[in-house]
């Protein structure tokens, strides 16, 4: 079966002053439909680059990123942009941009602009998704720009879910002051993606935020470490004598 | 041999290879090398040295004490097997809980040639911590009772510990890699 998202030896470099830095180093990763993956990493570890490559926002310098079997680098910029408005949703807490005076429901409905829906149909779908993320009818009429951080995050999630993507990519989505709110948001995220059978790739600087996800990975210096690799790296080839026993310490 | 003293046994091999010493000297060097967070029991060191000698990994000789040549003490030396045993220990991956101590002990006496083994061990440890984190049941943010709150806090403690461990492992790998790059 073709994985929904596949990274094969993906590397990405960026300029830092006069020299080049390897931001992602030969990353390999397969995510099937319905699988949730959490990536834990500190700042400047390469996790945002990984997510931007997964969403097709950036392209690798070497290696292949494929979505549903299609090489992203072979797609036109327009095709990748269409993908990002349909089958892939990307959400980053830094991306919050609400128009002045815009209501929450309109903010979500405008994300559906490319779906060929009337505004009335788009609002109807927006209200349904907002309800699913815990924003009721009254909250949907509030002004989007005046929302608290917690409510804003829920609305961003609703906006991402409204297009019914097959892959949801989230970069540090829940920067909330209240820990219970954060836990509730992640519980909501887990159930929303599970119910829809969508794949989830989410990165955070806090390992606790990634609790309950199907697969946990870490990234540092652009190098991915996955629980899925268990047992593949066990011992060094060495100077061990043939038949010598391993000490049990 | 298994148990809490096993990392000390491996570290003693490294110290013996650096230079021979009597039991008290090796215990002092071990304590200095492992740092304040590790309580080194001198009796454990003597017992481990006897075990190492029985298994052919150390050799003791009665030698005159420095400053008092009329009295002697047992000085432990490495054997031909010691270096290979240290290499084997560096390569050996350990089950979960004692690994951090084992890795710390390995780092304390590692030779530069052990760098690839340390990098593999650190990565395996990082992966093991991720596996453990994956096993922890998630909080749902709905702690309605004091008992539920305490359970959430306990899970947080586990995550905090595992995150620290992963950070330590990645930082140590980075230090080793940076050193190897500079040294090339």
Q: Reduced to 3 states, what is the DSSP secondary structure of residue B100?
A: helix
The ipTM (two decimal places) reads 0.79
On whether residue A241 sits in a domain, the answer given is no
Closest by Cα among B47, B55, B54 to B26: B47
Please list, in sequence order, all residues whose beta carbon lies within 8 angstroms of the beta carbon of residue A236, skipping any fewer than 6 positions away: B91, B116, B117, B120
Chain segment A31-45, per-residue pLDDT in tens: 998 899 999 998 889
Give A184's contacts in chain B (Cβ within 8 Å).
Answer: 140-142
Predicted confidence (pLDDT) per residue in A96-135, tens digit? 888 888 899 999 998 887 667 888 888 999 999 999 988 9
pLDDT > 70 in chain A, percent: 90
pLDDT at B138: 80
Instruction: Using CA atoms of B30, B36, B42, B47 in order, give the dihedral in degrees to the nearest 10.
Output: -60
Please write the tens of the pLDDT for every residue from A35-74: 999 999 988 899 999 999 999 999 999 999 999 999 999 9
Whether residue B2 is predicted with pLDDT greater than 60 in this model: the reply is no
| Interchain CB contact of A211 with B (< 8 Å) | yes
Task: Kindly indicate the confidence band of residue A211, based on its pLDDT and cuts at 50, 70 and 90.
Answer: confident
Asked whether the beta carbons of residue B138 and residue A211 sit closer than 8 angstroms, the reply is yes
Checking if the pLDDT of A236 tops 60, the result is: no
Domain that holds residue A95: 5-228
Cα–Cα distance for residue pair A240/B119, rounded to 1 Å: 18
> What pLDDT sits at residue B6?
72
Q: How far apart are CA A159 and CA A130, in angstroms?
A: 8
User: What pLDDT does A234 receive?
Assistant: 26
Of the candidates A249, A139, A205, the one whose C-alpha atom is nearest the C-alpha of residue B93 is A249
Do residues A219 and A39 make contact, with C-beta atoms less than 8 angstroms apart?
yes
Is the residue at A233 inside a domain? no
Beta bridge partners of A38: A202, A216
Does the CA dihedral B35-B40-B42-B46 come out positive or negative? negative
Query: pLDDT at position A115, please?
Result: 67
Cα-based angle A200, A203, A209 (whole degrees, multiple of 5): 95
Tell me which residue in B102, B130, B140 faces A184 most closely, judged by beta carbons: B140
| CATH number of the domain to which A21 belongs | 3.40.50.300
Q: Which helix (H) or strand (E) holds B124?
A: helix B115-135
Split at pLDDT 50, 70, 90, the class of B93 is: low
Which residue(s) pair with A203 in the sheet? A39, A171
Query: What's the pLDDT band for A229 if we cut at 50, 70, 90?
Result: low
A235 is a domain residue: no
Closest CA of chain B from A178, distance in Å: 10
Confidence check: pLDDT of A215 > 70: yes
Query: Is residue A233 over pLDDT 70?
Result: no
A197 vs B97, which has greater pLDDT? A197
Test B170 with A221 for CB contact under 8 angstroms.
Answer: yes
| DSSP 8-state class, residue B136 | S
Q: What does the domain layout of chain B look like in residue ranges?
A: 1-92, 111-184
Give B100's pLDDT tier (boundaries 50, 70, 90): confident
More confident residue, A244 or A55: A55
Residue of B nearest to A204 (CA): B163
Cβ-contact A61, A21 below 8 angstroms: no
A247 belongs to a structural domain:
no
Give, as one character, the DSSP assignment of residue B38: S
Task: Check if CATH label 1.10.10.10 holds for domain B1-92.
Answer: yes
Per-residue pLDDT, B99: 64
Number of domains, chain A? 1
Residue A162 lies in a domain: yes
CA gap A241, B4 in Å, rounded:
28
Element housing A219 (H / E)? strand A215-220
Alpha carbon distance A111, A70 (integer Å)? 25
């Amino acid at each position: 079966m073709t994985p929904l998202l596949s990274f094969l030896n993906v590397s990405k470099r960026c300029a830092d002053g006069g020299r080049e830095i390897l931001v992602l180093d030969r990353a390999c990763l397969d995510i099937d439909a319905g699988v949730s993956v959490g990536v834990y990493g500190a700042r400047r570890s390469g996790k945002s680059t990984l997510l931007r490559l997964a969403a097709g926002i950036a392209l690798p310098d070497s290696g292949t990123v494929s979505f549903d079997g299609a090489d992203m680098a072979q797609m036109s910029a327009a095709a990748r942009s269409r993908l990002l408005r349909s089958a892939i949703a990307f959400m980053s807490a830094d991306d919050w941009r609400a128009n002045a005076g815009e209501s929450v429901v309109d903010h979500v409905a405008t994300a559906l602009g490319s779906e060929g829906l009337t505004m009335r149909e788009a609002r109807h779908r927006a209200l349904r998704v907002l309800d699913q993320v815990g924003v009721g009818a009254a909250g949907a009429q509030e002004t989007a720009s005046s929302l608290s951080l917690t409510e804003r995050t829920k609305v961003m999630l609703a906006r991402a879910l409204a297009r019914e993507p097959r892959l949801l990519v989230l970069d540090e989505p829940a920067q909330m002051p209240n820990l219970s709110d954060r836990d509730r948001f992640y519980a909501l995220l887990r159930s929303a993606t599970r119910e829809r059978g969508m794949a989830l790739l989410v990165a955070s600087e806090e390992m606790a935020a990634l609790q309950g996800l199907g697969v946990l990975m870490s990234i540092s210096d652009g190098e991915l470490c996955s629980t899925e690799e268990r047992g593949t790296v066990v011992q060094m080839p060495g100077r061990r004598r043939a038949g010598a026993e391993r000490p049990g310490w | 041999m298994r148990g809490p003293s096993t990392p000390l046994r491996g570290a003693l091999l490294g110290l013996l290879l650096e230079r021979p010493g009597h039991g008290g000297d090796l215990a002092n060097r071990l304590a200095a090398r492992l740092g304040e967070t590790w309580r080194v029991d001198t009796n454990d060191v003597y017992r481990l040295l006897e075990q190492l000698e029985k298994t052919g990994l150390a050799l003791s000789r009665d030698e005159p004490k420095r400053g008092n040549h009329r009295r002697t003490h047992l000085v432990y030396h490495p054997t031909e097997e010691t270096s290979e045993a240290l290499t084997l220990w560096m390569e050996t991956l350990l089950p979960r809980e004692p690994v951090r101590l084992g890795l710390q002990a390995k780092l304390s006496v590692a030779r530069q040639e052990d760098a690839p083994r340390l990098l593999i061990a650190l990565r395996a440890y990082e992966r093991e911590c991720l596996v453990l984190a994956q096993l922890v049941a998630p909080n749902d943010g709905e702690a309605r009772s004091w008992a539920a709150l305490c359970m959430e806090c306990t899970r947080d403690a586990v995550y905090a510990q595992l995150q620290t461990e992963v950070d330590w492992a990645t930082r140590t790998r980075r230090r080793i890699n940076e050193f190897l790059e500079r040294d090339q």
